[in-house]
Amino acid sequence: MKTRIITGVVAVPLLVAALSLTPTLVTTLIVAVISGVSAWEISGAVGMPKNNTIRGVLTAVVVWCAFIYPDDPANRRDVWSLFLIFALLTGISAAGMLRFEKRGGAGMTNGKLQNNIWALATLVLPALLASLTWLRMLKYGRLLVLLPFVSVFLTDAGAYFTGIFFGKRKAFPKISPNKTVEGCIGGVFIGTAAVLAYGAVISAASTSVEASILPLILIGVAGALAAEFGDLAFSLIKRIYGIKDYGKIIPGHGGMLDRFDSLVFCAPAVFIIASWLPVFKAAL
């Protein structure tokens, strides 16, 4: 726990500065690194492909895909395309979770599943995490790009501490034995409160920008739910293949996916709402 806290104290300010105080290209590079390392980790977790050369080439493709994004991220066609990918992956993941909880994972470890998970990871990780770059490109992007991180980090912390102090009923005992219903609810409330607090701080600190309450509430709730869902989706893969962590690249946290799994679902949820509703606007 001590190593985990120290890593967070050092890394979070650096991440915030890199995302909000530097050009959009830096955000794209961050997305490329997270996507590439995550793809390498998940391929190792499911044992596909067996050849490390092929694994490296496919990981390189994932990194390259992170640099493909539209000139206008608010284009309705592109937003709807992202929404459909997001909805499809959510549905597939939810079906897998229900099956695992019902059957306890019986019959789920097979070659076809390995191929499917690896194919999804290759195609989906850069597509969904690229939402961070798209957020950065929107008007007030320097402010918007931090919202998924506020949601993910505070939802995670809220669920953890609420679960410790008030947790009684297991939420997903086979996928994530330590998660409780109370913890999940607490995570949503605290994650939403954190997003609203972020908006309030921006409004108070700036004379030119103010936050809109309704979009922030929607982002807070949707972002928190998506963050918790992402954590469960990638926990499901770990349970199926009997691993504790995806890697050891981040001290105290495990692998890249162990830290940013929630972001895979949270980032697109935040972007979709932010592209449809004005989260920040010019102060009157």
Ordered mean pLDDT values, 10 residues apiece, the chain (284 residues): 61 82 91 90 77 82 84 80 89 87 68 64 80 93 95 94 93 91 96 97 90 96 97 88 84 83 94 94 82
Q: Report the pLDDT value the prediction gives residue 5, as an integer from 0 to 100.
A: 61
**Rounded CA separation 46/268 (Å):** 25
Q: In this structure, what token pair is assigned to residue 250?
A: 């981040």
Helical (H) or strand (E) element with 282? strand 280-282
Give the CB-side neighbour count of residue 254, counting CA atoms within 13 A. 17
**Rounded CA separation 208/201 (Å):** 13
Q: By C-alpha distance, which of 241, 242, 239, 244 is closest to 258?
A: 244
- The answer for residues whose C-beta is within 8 angstroms of residue 281's C-beta and 6 or more apart is 209, 210, 212
Q: Which structural domain range is residue 9 located in?
A: 2-282
Residue 97 burial by Cβ neighbours in a 10 Å radius (0-12, 13-18, 19+): buried
Q: In this structure, what token pair is assigned to residue 233?
A: 């989706």
Give the total number of structural domains in the chain.
1
Q: In this structure, what token pair is assigned to residue 192?
A: 């939403």
Q: Report the pLDDT value the prediction gives residue 69, as an integer from 0 to 100.
A: 76
Q: Report the pLDDT value the prediction gives residue 121, as an integer from 0 to 100.
A: 66
Q: Report the pLDDT value the prediction gives residue 14, as an integer from 0 to 100.
A: 87
Helical (H) or strand (E) element with 242? none
- The answer for residues whose C-beta is within 8 angstroms of residue 36's C-beta and 6 or more apart is 59, 60, 62, 63, 66
Q: Which residues make beta-bridge pairs with 211?
A: 280
Q: Report the pLDDT value the prediction gives residue 114, as an integer from 0 to 100.
A: 62
Q: Report the pLDDT value the prediction gives residue 255, as an integer from 0 to 100.
A: 86
Q: In this structure, what token pair is assigned to residue 59?
A: 């990981």
- The answer for residues whose C-beta is within 8 angstroms of residue 40's C-beta and 6 or more apart is 55, 56, 59
**Rounded CA separation 14/132 (Å):** 16
Q: By C-alpha distance, which of 36, 51, 46 is closest to 115?
A: 46
**Rounded CA separation 229/224 (Å):** 9
Q: What is the pTM of this model?
A: 0.91
